[in-house]
Amino acid sequence: MSKNQFYAIIVAGGSGKRMNSQTPKQFLLLKGKPILMLSIEKFYQSKYQPKIIVVLAEQEQQTWHKLVQEYHFNIPHEVVSGGTERFHSVKNALSPIADKQSIIAIHDAVRPLVSIQTIDNCYEKAISTGNAIAATLSKDSVRVQEGNKNKAIARNQVYLVQTPQTFQYPQLEKAYQQDFESFFTDDASLVEKAGYTINLCNGDEFNFKITFPEDITLAEAILNKPAYE
């Protein structure tokens, strides 16, 4: 095991708009438990035993504390306040981390089906290469729109990016000194803009982001499969 300190920042700033729900996505129930708790549990089971930081909007923190009590959820974690954009939320979560030798995984709270193996693989690869981004090859044909035209590109060159996205602390420290740009849709794009090469790590077929009502149905079906771990 590495001597590095490990962290997991779980970003839970989503709303329920596309889910047609008044309840934020991270608090919706999946197999009888709030989705956010399932995501925290996955990182808690990692062999790297990361310290867990949960990012929540201030107005959702009281609800979360009530859920923690209701479900007797006792996994240690720190809660920090989110910002106006994901960029600001992650930046806030980095503030309590003082150890510059840290390896930090950043994960969407609404990807509760991520495998523990993927989490561990990302930590392991980030130790040696500086970063590791979970991703899967596209199984579909892909076309790119250019102006009024579009063209096919080889699908074996197209990766679908997931989380966790895992980095050595200095890369994130430098990346988050940049000003926010709308282009920064994930941490990999931010770190790449800061001058670092991005390294991909095999992701999970089931590690999708719960966004629409049908995603809950699919996630429930997967979790109920006897072979699912």
Buried-state track 186-223, b at ≥16 Cβ within 10 A, e below 16: bbbbbbbeeebebbbbebbebbbbbeeeebbeebeeee
Phi/psi at 61 (nearest 5 deg)?
Answer: -70, -35
Superfamily of domain 6-223: Spore Coat Polysaccharide Biosynthesis Protein SpsA; Chain A (3.90.550.10)
pTM: 0.93
Chain segment 81-140, per-residue pLDDT in tens: 998 889 999 999 999 998 999 999 999 999 999 999 999 999 999 999 999 999 999 999
User: For the chain, which residues make up each domain, given as ranges?
Assistant: 6-223
Chain segment 74-91, per-residue pLDDT in tens: 999 999 999 888 999 999
